[in-house]
Amino acid sequence: MIILSDSRQQKGKHTIKEKWFADNGIELRTTKLYVGDYTLPTDQSVCVDTKKDIQELIGDVCGKQHTRFRDECVRAQESNIQLYIVVENRGGPIKGTRDIYNPQINRLEELHNWKNPRLFIFRAGKQLYPTATRGITLQKICHTMQTKYGVKFLFCKPEESAPLIFKLLTKGAKIY
């Protein structure tokens, strides 16, 4: 089986996915994709875009990349492409804190529980990023984008990303 991978992805940042694909007999071919990071050469009506973490998602939906990301969602919608955004994340302690933890986010409906680590950065007793995007705000924005553009946001651990991509692209087919 062949899966197309977007040539604009950063090299060396997708080794877990690449290993899973190789271990399961899936060949990745690199090319410039119309939308997303992964699709099938035989059926590009489904595309998957990946985010390495929730911070990258914030940059795309709330930050400087918003216009580019929104335009990609519009292109997918206008072309009748189902675009999935797979956001890799895992729970754990927030760096620089003693007892503040982020939960593993598994669904968009859980995103309000996520705490932006930037909110816990202080210097000389002063919070450096008091307006950093909070989980509840990000959840609302993603929900609006789902409703307006038909894009779907999915969440998983990094090691679950490649199997999820495969399932989405093949509509649940099994690997043989």
- Taking only the tens place, the pLDDT of each residue in 69-80 is 999 999 999 999
Written out in words, the top-level CATH class of the domain with range 2-170 is alpha beta
Give which of 10, 7, 118 is closest to 54, Cα–Cα.
118
Q: Contact 71/83 with Cβ under 8 angstroms? A: no
Q: Contact 80/45 with Cβ under 8 angstroms? A: yes
Structure tokens at 39: 């699709």
- Taking only the tens place, the pLDDT of each residue in 80-99 is 999 999 999 999 999 989 89
User: Looking at the whole model, is its pTM more than 0.85?
Assistant: yes
Residues 33, 62, 32: CA angle, nearest 5 degrees: 10
- Taking only the tens place, the pLDDT of each residue in 118-138 is 999 999 999 999 999 999 999
